[in-house]
Structure 1
Amino acid sequence: MKLDDSLELYLKYIRYEKNLTPNSIRSYTKDILQLHGFLYSNNINDTTQLDLAIFRNFLKSIDSKKYANRTIIRKYSSYINYFRFLEENKLTGMQLSQFINVPRKRERLYTFLSKKEMEKLFDSMEVKDYLNNRKRIIDPQTRKHLSDLHKRNRLIIELLYSTGARVSEIENIKLKDIDIKKSEIRVTGKGRKQRIVYINHRCLYRLEKYLGEVRPGLSSNKKAGTRLNNLYLLLNSRGERLSSRSIYEIVRKYVKLAGIKKKITPHSIRHSFASHLLQEGAGIREIQELLGHENISTTQIYSHLDIKKIKEDYRRFHPRAKQGGPPIKNKQ
């Protein structure tokens, strides 16, 4: 089978039978297209021509690039699953999947914001201050447009911190998923699994302001007229669903404006959400449910985040570590 045809067949399989999310399908597609590009450059156009030596050279080229460990693991997993599909459907005579050893996952150091930094971020986002700090004079219509986008952006950061949701989950919130009365939102996570997340009173206030004052103007744009765009909570200035990439840029911009020097992403705010809950006494199991983690071991990384607090608690509560305890006698 031609490589392009095999990819088309595989994508149908993971979309309709495996029921993978659009984000996962995009990642698989990107990884396999990269593999196909390498195979084409080596005159391999068909799945029956797959060659172990050439594939090993491809893996070497992947390893030589400066990909993050997590990205390499994902790519290797993409190739294993793709080759298994080809093998199970007898589209290739080579058993390439058995020759792929997925690298071990490295321990990652998570970046997150402290409670004070989180408040600093929110304080810097007051609408009047944001607009008054702009260097050039703007006309009333432009000022209104910028104010509306700023209110939407403020809501995005409130949602990230209030819910602890992933950026893809925030991006895909539909109007029907929101229950204002219960202060709840239904999000769809990895593997299309749904869960309920909660919004605090500040986030609820921003949400109601956005729905009442901002979104109607965004949804009146031409491209928002499509039925699909009208389903989603967050829209861009053209009336289209706001993308994950745009949310990343929004977070990066406001963190910079707040004078915070850390490299912060939407996922960093998710880490902050979990870390702050833990510091306030929430249990690991409860945090696991809120984050939508399938495995408790994924959630347990947050118990190692705030080393400073752990040390402070040790010095405060351990009977032989308290300040002002009995002096240590010199050895004779």
Structure 2
Amino acid sequence: MNNEKLKEYIETFLDYLLDVRGYSEVSVTTYEIALRQMSGVSHFYEEDGISVLDITPFRFNIVKNSKKTIVKKLSAVRSFVKYLEDQCNIPVKLIADESIKVPQSLPKPIEEQYIEEVLAKANVEEKLLISMLYGLGLRISELSGLKLEDIKGEWIQIHGKGNKVRELPLMKSLQKLIGVYMDQNGPKRYLFEKGNAPMNAAQLRYKLTKLFKKEGLKVTPHQLRHSFATHLLNHGARIADVSELLGHETMATTQVYTKLGSVKKMQEYMSAHPLADKNL
């Protein structure tokens, strides 16, 4: 199932509104505009026999619309989903259709360019420290307890909160970096060691904050985890996948990230689009 299938469903829905429900052409056009905008950026896929419609990217796109416009567009999406379920007998799980309130205490993500600049000046151990937190979205406690036996080729096994275990894919570049680091440092049991014991969270946190402080940045390990999630979502990753990578129990926890990049995304759009400075 893909977005082409989604567009086909939308066409049948619009015909249904016009021919069966007797909606006016003006009303149908309103639905059409909202649903075409949604289908152009959202994710539509099948999981465990259920169709999933993740409209997170759509929410990014309409975040600066008036509240009334957002309500109308989301209403069009919900009506479409109800049509699929009631008229087509297609069960649909709709993701990110509710308003998300971001806690004020949520750390701001770090700009991608700043992370890249620090990585460019870091030594092998420092690069690995940043890459494990930012490249995998690990908690600092998870990194502290990471054993060499948990690294299995292209995958890594993470022991998270509540003794829950999740498998994460290792990027080729990170696999290579781990290999270089192990050749240089020769850890025996844990990836980051001091003596015969693993470096604790405080030791790793100190190394990280000191590293970014050199560049005039105040950064915490938790901020790198937030940046991992936010940057993935900003680049189009599915919220369900990001939630699984983070080890969240529910996607509701992950959804707070859907608002983090919205203001910056809108600013970039307003400055980059050819029509942004035109008086239409």
Instruction: Tell me if TM exceeds 0.5.
Output: yes
Deviation at 1:249, TM superposition (A): 0.4
Q: Does 2:225 correspond to 1:270?
A: yes
Corresponding residue of 1:313: 269
Corresponding residue of 1:176: 149
AA aligned to 2:197 is E
For 1:240 and 1:200, the matched residues in 2 are separated by 27
TM-superposition CA deviations, 1:273-321 (whole Å, max 9, x none): 111111111011111011011121211111111211134336767x9x7
How many residue pairs are counted as aligned between the two chains?
A: 178
- Name whichever of 109-118 and 285-294 sits farther off: 109-118
For 1:152 and 1:311, the matched residues in 2 are separated by 36
Q: Does 2:116 correspond to 1:159?
A: no
For 2:119 and 2:193, the matched residues in 1 are separated by 21
Q: In the alignment, is the contact (CA less than 8 A) between 1:117 and 1:260 conserved in 2?
A: no
For 1:324 and 1:111, the matched residues in 2 are separated by 32
Q: In the alignment, is the contact (CA less than 8 A) between 1:112 and 1:264 conserved in 2?
A: no
Residue from 172, 178, 189 that aligns with 2:160: 189
Indicate the structure whose relative CO is greater, using CA pairs within 8 Å and at least 6 residues apart.
Answer: 2
AA aligned to 1:250 is K
Residue from 211, 216, 221 that aligns with 1:260: 216
Residue from 234, 248, 257 that aligns with 1:279: 234
Corresponding residue of 1:244: 201
Q: In the alignment, is the contact (CA less than 8 A) between 1:234 and 1:242 conserved in 2?
A: yes
Q: Does 2:116 correspond to 1:116?
A: no
TM-superposition CA deviations, 1:234-262 (whole Å, max 9, x none): 202x23211100110011011012x133x
Show structure 2 runs of 5+ residues with no match.
1-101
For 2:167 and 2:175, the matched residues in 1 are separated by 15
AA aligned to 1:165 is L
AA aligned to 2:240 is R
Q: Does 2:204 correspond to 1:234?
A: no
Deviation at 1:207, TM superposition (A): 0.3
Q: SS state of the match for residue 173, structure 1?
A: coil
Show structure 1 runs of 5+ residues with no match.
1-104, 128-150, 220-229, 327-332
Look at both structures and tell me which one has the larger radius of gyration over its CA atoms.
Answer: 1
Corresponding residue of 2:253: 298
Q: In the alignment, is the contact (CA less than 8 A) between 1:252 and 1:264 conserved in 2?
A: yes
Q: SS state of the match for residue 199, structure 2?
A: coil
TM-superposition CA deviations, 1:26-78 (whole Å, max 9, x none): xxxxxxxxxxxxxxxxxxxxxxxxxxxxxxxxxxxxxxxxxxxxxxxxxxxxx
For 1:301 and 1:164, the matched residues in 2 are separated by 15
Q: In the alignment, is the contact (CA less than 8 A) between 1:284 and 1:300 conserved in 2?
A: yes
For 1:176 and 1:111, the matched residues in 2 are separated by 33
TM-superposition CA deviations, 1:161-193 (whole Å, max 9, x none): 11111111111111221112xx21100111111
Corresponding residue of 1:323: 277
Q: In the alignment, is the contact (CA less than 8 A) between 1:167 and 1:266 conserved in 2?
A: yes
For 2:146 and 2:106, the matched residues in 1 are separated by 29
Corresponding residue of 2:35: none
AA aligned to 1:192 is N
Q: SS state of the match for residue 294, structure 1?
A: coil
**Overall identity of the aligned pairs, in %:** 31
Deviation at 1:198, TM superposition (A): 2.3
For 1:152 and 1:300, the matched residues in 2 are separated by 32
Deviation at 1:324, TM superposition (A): 1.9
Task: Provide the aligned C-alpha RMSD in A.
Answer: 2.2
